[in-house]
Amino acid sequence: MARAKGMYGRLTSAARPPKPGSAGFKAWSAVTAINTWAYRVSGGRLGGSFDRAPVLLLHHVGRRSGEERVAPLLYLPDGDDLVVVASYGGAPKHPAWLHNLRATPDTVVEVGRRRRPVTAREATPQERERLWPALLELYPAYGDYQRRTTREIPLVVLRDR
């Protein structure tokens, strides 16, 4: 039996992601910053899950700005690997962190209090076929996001280095 969407999944499925530079985007960025702070202060006890799905902090460097950034993302454990979804809520464009990882795939994630150096790569079509159903079970709203956009939402595998 498929898992029901949680409160956040229902909200994010009903609303389109805010456009960069908009007031909604700035508000979402503030919420993200607070989540990141709470996650770090509590070792992931606060902000470490979203609708019962686990959250990690993904470090990435702006490919043009060179600025260090951190994105809290849901993840699926897959053996020793971690899988994140570049959904951007079903927006027509990929999230900035995906472009940044394409430029600089060696990075760090925080899972709880543990920092892990990882290398990011996009899942192969065969991996995607295997992983997508598990990701939909983890966070059913991903299905709504995929239906909302014409792009295929990339899956990113994070492997320890």
Helix axes 141-148, 125-138, angle to 10 degrees: 130
- The β-bridge relationship of strands 76-78 and 81-85 is antiparallel
Mean pLDDT across 51-78 = 96
- How far is it, in rounded angstroms, from Cα 111 to Cα 39? 9
Digit-coded pLDDT (tens) for 119-152: 999 999 999 999 999 999 999 999 999 999 999 9
Q: Where on the phi/psi map is residue 57: left (φ > 0), alpha (ψ -120 to 50), or beta?
A: beta
What are the residues whose beta carbons fall under 8 Å from the beta carbon of 94, sequence distance 6 or more? 86, 88, 151, 154
Which two three-digit tokens encode residue 46?
């606060």
pTM of the prediction? 0.91
- Note the pLDDT tens digit of each residue in 78-114: 999 999 999 999 999 999 999 999 999 999 999 999 9
User: Please, what are the domains in the chain?
Assistant: 7-160 (2.30.110.10)
* Residue 117 pLDDT greater than 90, yes or no: yes
Strand, helix or coil at 66? coil
What confidence score (pLDDT) does residue 2 get?
Answer: 63
